Amino acid sequence: MKNKLLISALVLTILVSCTSDKSNSDTDIVVPPVIPPVINITSLKQASIPFGVACSPSPLKTDALYRETIINHTSSLTAENCFKPARISLGRKQYFWDDCDYMVNFAIQNNLRLHGHTLNWYSASGVPTWVSNFVGTKEEWILIMKEYIQDVVGRYKGKIKSWDVVNEPFETTGVLRNSIWKQNIGDEYIDLAFQFAHEADPEAILFINEFGTEYSIPKRTALLNLSNRLVASNIPINGIGLQFHTSISRSEIDIRTTILTMASTKLKIHISELDVEINPSNVTPFVITDALLLSQKRIYSYVTKVMLEIPKNQQFGITTWGISDAVSWKKNDPDFPLLFDLAYKPKPAYYGMIDSFNQK
């Protein structure tokens, strides 16, 4: 038996030796590693970072070109106005749901992710008339905020994937805005808003959303510090929305610094309301030139490029504030800040974003 084992071991050694010699021979066939093909995208709907637009129910219902452009080119939607508190809340525990329900159903039917904007805001659109007139103790103010947030988030639990919980909490100076919520509840209204939203839908992705961080260092620093404090305090915040209502005069370093600084929190980053003015001085009459469109393309392309540099799990999305120059909030300035022109045709900026995705 022992001799048989020795013979077997010897045969195995010879076979291994032969195999080794063969692998080093010039006549060997070497099989190259399988490399997956590079697939270039042709539409932002295919982008590796979800591309979205802010839109509203009325044109979705009545404007076929508006609707089809969104369906064909986006994978994500933000409710432009209909989820703002003054649009929903008619009185305490009294709500107008029709437009919100339409948006939710449209998103579901077209397999689009829906982002809710916004649960708490200082402006007239964010504060219903009955809230402006409300008189009560701190505890009563906390209660009406809780009721509203949980009624809205609870209604769409599992249907709306993410929310801007608190919108624009800072002044340009970096000081916490003296909103009606801060006046009556105190600074902790922000912490409470996130807690209430999380209780209503523990799976929802919750954002703080702010503008001007690409040009105001005090505001950027304040937002960074607040976000880090919320994380350290175990407040259920998941992401930061950077609005980026910007222009062709914005430097690339401002864009890069802002995105990478906020990404240092490890929270998800959403370029949440992007548009790029080509007439920031509001010159009139105004003529669009190829040079201006190429400058606009540079900004859109660079925002995309930097977003692709941050960790994949932080790349929540890039959303423009509107789909076409025909419906832009800047159209009367006059300006043409979006990716699609007045006829809903893609502009150079659209292809600039696609180029950035394909180069990555």
Instruction: Please give the pLDDT value at position 39.
Output: 75
Instruction: Please give the pLDDT value at position 8.
Output: 44
* 246 in a structural domain: yes
Q: Any idea what the CATH number is for the domain that residue 121 is in?
A: 3.20.20.80
CB 281 within 8 A of CB 335: no
Pick from 72, 75, 79, 76: nearest CA to 56: 79
* 128 in a structural domain: yes
Range of the domain at 335: 46-359
Q: What is the pLDDT of residues 190-203, one digit of tens each?
A: 999 999 999 999 99
* 3 in a structural domain: no
Q: Is 72 helix (H, G, I), strand (E, B) or coil?
A: helix
Question: Any long-range contacts for 63-68 (C-beta under 8 Å, 24+ apart)?
Answer: 65/344, 66/323, 66/324, 66/327, 66/344
* 187 in a structural domain: yes
- Can 139 be counted among the known catalytic residues? no
Q: What is the pLDDT of residues 81-133, one digit of tens each?
A: 999 999 999 999 999 999 999 999 999 999 999 999 999 999 999 999 999 99
CB 304 within 8 A of CB 357: yes
pTM: 0.90
Active-site hit among 168, 210, 214, 277: 168
DSSP assignment, residue 342? Answer: T
Q: How far apart are CA 75 and CA 114, in angstroms?
A: 9
- Can 147 be counted among the known catalytic residues? no
Instruction: Please give the pLDDT value at position 29.
Output: 57
Instruction: Please give the pLDDT value at position 37.
Output: 59
* 20 in a structural domain: no
Instruction: Please give the pLDDT value at position 13.
Output: 41
* 37 in a structural domain: no
The number of folded domains in the chain is 1
* 13 in a structural domain: no
Active-site hit among 80, 210, 214, 273: 273
Q: Give the helix/strand (H/E) hosting 246.
A: strand 245-247
Mean pLDDT by 10 residues, the chain (360 residues): 42 40 46 65 98 98 98 98 97 98 98 98 96 98 98 98 98 98 98 98 98 98 98 98 98 98 98 98 95 98 98 98 97 97 98 95
